[in-house]
Chains A and B, each alone.
Chain A
Amino acid sequence: MDMPVLSLRNLTVDIPTRHGTLRPVDDVSWDIAAGEILGVVGESGAGKSMTGNAVIGLLDPPAHISAGEVLLEGERIDNYTLAQMRRVRGKRIGMVFQDPLTSLNPLLTIGEQLSETILRHLDVSRSEADARAIQGLDEVGIPSARNRMGAYPHEFSGGMRQRVVIALALCAEPTLLIADEPTTALDVSVQAQIIALLKRLCRERGMAAMLVTHDMGVIAETADRVAVMYAGRLAEIGPVSQIVGQPRHPYTDGLMASTPAASAGQARLRQIPGAMPRLNRMPDGCAFHPRCPRAQDKCRVNPGPKVGTADERAACWFPIEQDEAAA
């Protein structure tokens, strides 16, 4: 259990464009241990999804990893060839996307899509693959799974489809799951079920998970640790209780104060003034300084230093101290 399942080391993603290079992911590092769920939060465009795509090697050109490393169980995979990467995807890293309505091929039955994935990664016979597919559907809570193998995606409801998607992502028993906003497109009542399902599967299988979301409620409920991203950079990372209870980065603090679930008891939700900068108009220094109540001159020149330990740290010149937060 010493070796983390996933390690990002200063991961940086660049998109060269006509008007210069954009950097949607900038110097991001974190570890996820087996059985651990890391929640990744931030506004849309903060680089959360892009980080997930970079890990599994699905960046759309011209976006590419320009610096840093991705280590899967201690093995560097960011320099893998496409053929090598295809053996990693599905087999060692499972991925779940946001919209279950569009994630499944409408013209193939779910049985076909499941067995094809199983046959691709595991050395089993056709009938064995079908048996595993049924078992997988069973596991994610599809009722009478055997009879549903021949059904097409449109015959399922949204929540059921997301269960099928999860079954597909996990059918070759990966050690890491990347779930990119897995509940955003679902009804609120269904969201909780899907989150519970993900949590249970991670626990049962000892699987590491990277849960990308902008829903703090989901994070508070599911994650062991939380990474907060802002404008492509990692603002703060730490145990969920600390991020929610005693945030150190002013952005995290603002984020929590503006979230109903995390700011229970607060009379009124606070909002962060302004908006996240666009990638082509990044300010110098700390990306958050134009909106930060604590910003001073040096924040405008240099990005904040990383304070804290590897497991819990914030990138800030003037982090909120514990006694301050209590006051």
Chain B
Amino acid sequence: MLAYIIRRVFQSVIVLLAVGLVAFSMFRFVGDPIENLLGQERTVQDVERLREALGLNDPFAVQYARFLGRAVTGDFGISYRQSRPVSQIIAERAPATLELAFVSGVLALTVGIGLGVFTAIRRDGWAANIIMSVSLIGVSLPTFLIGILLIYLFGVQLRWLPTFGRGDVVDLGWWTTGFLTSSGLKSLILPSITLGLFQMTLIMRLVRSEMLEVLRQDYIRFARARGLSAKSVNFRHALKNTMVPVITVTGLQLGAIIAFAIITETVFQWPGVGLLFINAVQFVDIPVMAAYLMLISVMFVMINLLVDILYVWVDPRLRIDGRHT
């Protein structure tokens, strides 16, 4: 098991190095960093001095290593557009995105698994059929349309909930939170539903199909043949086996929530990292784009690792610890 995890960590590092290479290449070759820093008024000497100072004359590998070294310490350079350190900008914005992603993730996971199990057990019931039909519309409905729909309904028509921004936030020094004020909590409702709905639909459909597959297995039949109660068959025997394949995909989906926050944050003008990234794409603010890419991949890789470990924890077949030999 330890060897397995070490191998996964090793693979993760390779992935991060590859993504780092992409990020660095963007940084280095898209647009001219010198032009972005010096503007129109410059002399050949200025350019050469800056090139030397920035290390742009060094071999590619050296520059790449230096870029990685800085990235590890959280130094992603200066934003072209805001002329401030990228790390500082992202640190300001991160709490907003993470809180939104957290609420959406919990929503998607609990409701998605719950509905998935329900529709699998009552596979031919009318309620399950309605849920499945609605979920197909949910998959076809682009996230931003869901957001707009919710804004129109609850913001414009009913005037129950705020339609943009985070509301009042409490500053905890290194973190700002919307969890502690009523306007902050109210502001979270619509964006987190918007962001969570698509992942919820996916998780639900996945749980349903996996569960149906598990319910066809011989051990479920055998459990029934032993007269176990429906509750025991469905939840003790079937659900646990359903979770094994579901964990992988669900992990990826939770990672995707952070990326999909880009859309939700744009619709709701949510002051998070996603909105920052969209603005960076529009204005070709390469350092911000590169930093975002790196951070997202670190997050994904960590989620993947976590999923792998969870996998081992759930499935005894992967646990080779010599306890019963």
Measured CB to CB, the residues of A under 8 A from B are 56, 58, 85-91, 94-95, 97, 99, 102-108, 116-117, 120-121, 148, 150-152, 154-155, 165, 168-169, 172
Contacts and interface: CB of A to CB of B under 8 A. Distances in A.
By Cβ-Cβ distance, the 3 closest A-B pairs, closest first, are A90-B227, A89-B227, A90-B226
Contacts of A168: 222, 226
Name which of A107, A120, A155 has the most chain B CB atoms within 10 A of its CB. A107
Interface residues of B, number: 25
B154 interface: no
Nearest to B244: A107
Given A150-B324, A155-B324, A155-B325, A103 B227 contact: no
Nearest to B325: A155
Contacts of B236: 108, 116
Contacts of B240: 107-108
Contacts of B223: 105
Interface stretch (B49-57, B93-101, B311-319): B311-319
Contacts of B226: 89-90, 94-95, 117, 120, 168-169, 172
A103 B324 contact: no
Contacts of A86: 227-229
B218 interface: yes
Contacts of A103: 218-219, 221-222
Given A151-B324, A152-B324, A155-B324, A106 B229 contact: no
A49 to B, nearest CB: 11
Interface string B213-257: 000011101111111110010001100110010000000000000
A117 B229 CA distance: 10
Contact of B317 (A85, A87, A121, A154): A154
Contact of B225 (A95, A121, A148, A152): A95
B222 to A, nearest CB: 5
A63 B223 CA distance: 20
17 contacts: A91-B227, A94-B225, A106-B241, A106-B316, A106-B317, A107-B240, A107-B316, A108-B236, A108-B237, A116-B232, A117-B227, A151-B324, A152-B317, A154-B317, A155-B324, A165-B222, A172-B227
Interface of B: 217-219, 221-229, 232, 236-237, 240-241, 244, 314-317, 323-325
A107 B227 CA distance: 19
A228 B77 CA distance: 83
Q: Which of B222, B223, B236, B324 has the most CB of A within 10 A?
A: B222
A272 B223 CA distance: 39
B324 A102 contact: no
B232 A107 contact: no
Nearest to A155: B324
A102 B217 contact: yes
A152 B316 contact: yes
Contacts of B219: 102-106
A106 B316 CA distance: 8
A58 B221 contact: yes
B229 A120 contact: yes
A97 B218 contact: yes
B221 A121 contact: no
Nearest to B241: A107
Contacts of A94: 225-226
Given A107-B240, A107-B316, A120-B232, A97 B221 contact: yes
Most chain B CB inside 10 Å of its own CB: which residue of A88, A89, A105 = A105
B224 A58 contact: yes
Contact of B227 (A97, A120, A151, A165): A120
A95 B222 contact: yes
Contacts of A85: 227
